[in-house]
Amino acid sequence: MKVAYWPGCVSRGFTPELHGSMAQVAPLLDIELVELDRASCCGAGVIAEHNQELADTLNARTFALAQQEIASGADLMMNICSTCQGSQSECQERLDGNTEYRDHINETLAPEGLTYERGISNKNFLWLMVEEIGLDAIKAKVKRPLTDLRVGPFYGCYIVRPTDRLGIDHENPRDRYLQQLIEVLGGTVVDYAGQYKCCGFPIITMNRDASLKQAGRHLGDAIDADADCLVTPCPLCHLNLDLQQPLAEKVVGRDLGMPVLHLPQLVGLALGLEPKELGMNKHVVRPSSVIDWSTSVVGGVA
Amino acid sequence: MAEYTLKLRRYQPESGEAPYWEEFTIDLDGKRSVLDGILQAKDRQDGSIGIRCSCRAAICGSCGVRINGRPGLACHMHLDEAVERSPDGAIVVEPMGNMPIIKDLIVDMDAVHWKKMQRVTPWLLPDGPPPEREYIVPPESMIDITQTMACIQCGACVSDCLSMEVDPLFIGPAALAKAYRFVGDPRDGQHKERLKDLAEDPHGIYDCTHCFNCIEACPKGVAPMSQIMRLRRIAGSEFEIDDRNNGHRHEMAFVDNIEKNGLLHEADLLPDSYGGKFHPRAVPELVRSLPAILKAVQRGKVTPKKALLHAHKADKQVRRIFDHVHDKDERYELNLYVEGEEDAPEADDSSAAGHTPAERSPNQ
């Protein structure tokens, strides 16, 4: 399968291990990544907060660039960031929902020779795995099942709400895909209070304590539910949950030490890749409960 | 008629006992509401079940509860739908969150919801003496605020506000949506004062984390979070309110960052949100973040070179789009709540979020 690939900003910035691990995992799943290297930041909700038309135009441009790739053979557009998924879906809802508005935005794109046509299919890697590749096909590729590894899903906000915008329904239970995937990879799903809550990152510069309290509380809940690690499809959540975890510890007043994996890292481990190839040495909280570093063997709490 | 199991969370604070779950079997048509089910259990099995309700038609806003973990009106969900969404076949009904419980499913709306509503001065403050006859208002501007006027004060959004969960002082979604109802009303004469107040409050408009829970919770489509974003937009762009919470500075630091780089350059975003690397306000913040920064460098997540020099520059087309949109005298905002959404063309079955056309999905 060939995809017009939108990695986003943070996966190439402060969480380079996300983009890196995606590149490692893609060939194992027969995904050909055609990177949209001219596209710009989705705005992460902040550009839309500043000026809705600006965010819609930038994302319409990204969609139009993706549609050029789709016209020349790509199956659909794929992203690896929940925040991109949510922000872009919000813009797409407006662009697809009103022809006059779409035409207006397309006028701005015209000097570059680009047009956005209604109805692009833009899927997060998580959705793509379940809906396009299929859980059975993934199961067949598992080389090193995550036996006894207790994994807590951390969806964050942008990929699960609002449900109608994100196409979550009975037929596509996209808010259960992480659980389904963890099981297929051989792991044990940990049910805990914070899995659909906010990591707090968007207000880190505005209300630092409230922001870190959110991250710290969810990590603590996962520890109380005996999770070995969390997995998230959102690099911004990863920043607050992993990079800022030492600071969150101080705010909530308890030791945490909870490893947080990016989605392609968890998949890559089960498909037989080595932790270092997946950039797991780049995490602030060492994923030692996930990996026995001396032998690089996946196991539970060894 | 069919049998359903309701699992109610019971709690009588004055009893000194902990809350507990109690199951009731009810016998009703699947198209009757969860509220009807609760009332049948109350009527036939246990008259002491506490539930507040009145209209039973999703307009009075009295019966806000959590059904299967999600906030909403008990009268607004069919039993058959609720059972479909339940984890194990029993319909779980709990009181709303973020508010103290008075009894069973009844929460103290006065202590939280109404108090916060008061906080935003929810009445019109016109400038000068009133006109001799009625105020004349253009229809468009009233249509603009109909979305916030649709609020029925049920508290469902307050129940699951994730900012309020960690910061109980947050003014919250319902009250801030109400604030937009007056900021968007041309008859009100205190737009700037209202916005300054809400922007400067450390628990005001910049305390919202964009979690979308309120949008999901609202049974009336008010989309409180979208209203909070509009308040921010007007506070920053129209009134240039430079708040003490770094809210507007963060927004502009982000926008300028993308205009310059095309992709986000995180190493600049943090200091710029505080006014720039060498700003007195930035220094203590950066010092506080230093342990995290050093750890990131140590792990090879960030190299000093990457942090200081950002190789990526915005495509000139991206800069052109920024200039083009910023040069406009008026912002163009599309509100689908007001405009309505066009139906998708028949042949094209992919929805906004990119549903797979059936023929392409191996799972269908």
CB-CB under 8 Å, B216 with A161: yes
Mutate to test the interface with B, among A2, A3, A9 (most CBs of B within 10 A): A9
Residue B209 distance to chain A (closest CA, Å): 5
CB-CB under 8 Å, B324 with A108: yes
Residues of B in contact with A40 (CB under 8 A): 258, 262-263, 314-315, 318
Per-residue pLDDT band for A36 (boundaries 50, 70, 90) equals very high
- Interchain CB contact of B20 with A (< 8 Å): no
Q: Closest CB to A284: pick one of B210, B296, B315.
A: B296
CA dihedral over A225, B22, A169, B213, signed as positive or negative: negative
- Chain A, nearest residue to B210 by Cα: A202
Q: Closest CB to A40: pick one of B314, B341, B351.
A: B314
Per-residue pLDDT band for B343 (boundaries 50, 70, 90) equals confident
Q: Is the pLDDT of residue B322 over 70?
A: yes
pLDDT tens string A90-99: 999 999 999 9
Q: CA distances (Å), B146 to each of A284, B124, B141, B180, B217, in order?
A: 47, 15, 9, 11, 18
Mutate to test the interface with A, among B205, B228, B268, B301 (most CBs of A within 10 A): B301
CA dihedral over A249, A255, A256, A257, signed as positive or negative: positive
What tokens appear for A191 in the block? 């049910």
Coil vs helix vs strand at A222:
helix
Q: Closest CB to A121: pick one of B209, B341, B350.
A: B350
3 state SS for A281-295: HHCCCCCCCCEECCC
Q: Count CA atoms closer than 13 A to B319's CA, side-chain side.
A: 6
CB-CB under 8 Å, A217 with B210: no
Q: Please tell me the distance from the alpha carbon of residue B323 to that of residue B321, in angstroms, as a whole number.
A: 5
Residue B46 distance to chain A (closest CA, Å): 31
DSSP secondary structure string, B87-110?
A: SSSEEEEE--SSS-EEETTEE-TI
Q: Own/partner pairs for B128-131, CB < 8 Å, 24+ apart?
A: B128/B189
How confident is the prediction for chain B on average, in pLDDT?
Answer: 91
Q: How far is CA A20 from the centre of its chain?
A: 14
What tokens appear for A82 in the block? 């929940």
pLDDT, mean of residues B333-358: 66
What's the confidence (pLDDT) of residue B346?
A: 60
The ipTM, to two decimals, is 0.94
Q: Cis bond leading into A162, ω under 30°?
A: yes
pLDDT tens string A101-160: 999 999 999 999 999 999 999 999 999 999 999 999 999 999 999 988 999 999 999 999
- Interchain CB contact of B326 with A (< 8 Å): yes
Per-residue pLDDT band for A292 (boundaries 50, 70, 90) equals low
A&B contacts, CB < 8 Å: 256
pLDDT, mean of residues A43-68: 97
Q: What is the DSSP letter of B135?
A: P
CB-CB under 8 Å, A51 with B233: yes
Coil vs helix vs strand at B40:
helix
Per-residue pLDDT band for B358 (boundaries 50, 70, 90) equals very low
Q: How far is CA B167 from the centre of its chain?
A: 15
What's the confidence (pLDDT) of residue B295?
A: 86
